[in-house]
Structure 1
Amino acid sequence: MRQDVAGLSSDTPIVVFSHIPLFAMYPAWGWGTDDAAQVLALLRRFASVTCLNGHVHQLFTKTEGNVTFHSATTTAYPLPHPGDGPAPAPVTLPAGRLRAALGIREVGYVRGRQQLALRDRSLA
């Protein structure tokens, strides 16, 4: 990653795709990485950094300085919210409720605009 961003100007918008969140969302469940601080240190000089991740099956957005983190609901099975239960085991839902708990987040970018366009939709 160091080589990938070395020649970029600090006003270049950066989008990072990762499976696991690049912040310590809930380390007890493996919802964070040991090298996230190193990766984010390489990106701090950029004016706009967007990190998109999966793994946690949660819909969230979090901003820390110039970095915004986004995750989406799951397309497979829901997991509990961090700390709800001893481990991130699939949540059992009443019959007919699964598709409403599943979803897709679409992310769009228009050159010249700072904000990404986010669209969340349920599979129901």
Structure 2
Amino acid sequence: MMPRYRCSSGFSLLEVLVASAILALWLPASLYTLQLALSGQAKVQQKALLLEQMWLLKADIERQWQRGEPSAQHQQIDWQLSSVDPQQAHLTLTAEPYALDFWLHRQQPEAVITAGGDPVE
């Protein structure tokens, strides 16, 4: 006759303690990693919002400059417009940590060629 070994139906105390220790070490590390990822995402989102506001302000200033004198205002973004000549200007937008430079050009009316070949505006 073969000897019978007792079978336990669950985990031993040692196995439960080892699993608990592994979870106790892994959980805070994964939560810290998640916190870092979420805070990084928030910073990227803030920077993207600032850049979007800068592009919108650029469009407003450019539209106003096409019509005459720009007078756009923004709380976080400083801007400076320097006229090069009546058709061109240099625009600088500054908001920490960004500084964007743009060249603005007024649209010239396109000439229409007639059958005789003389341009007509």
TM range, smaller chain: under 0.3
Q: Report which of the two has the higher share of helix.
A: 2
* Larger RCO (CA within 8 A; separation ≥ 6): 1
The alignment's TM-score, normalised by the length of structure 1, stands at 0.25
The higher radius of gyration belongs to: 2
The alignment's TM-score, normalised by the length of structure 2, stands at 0.25
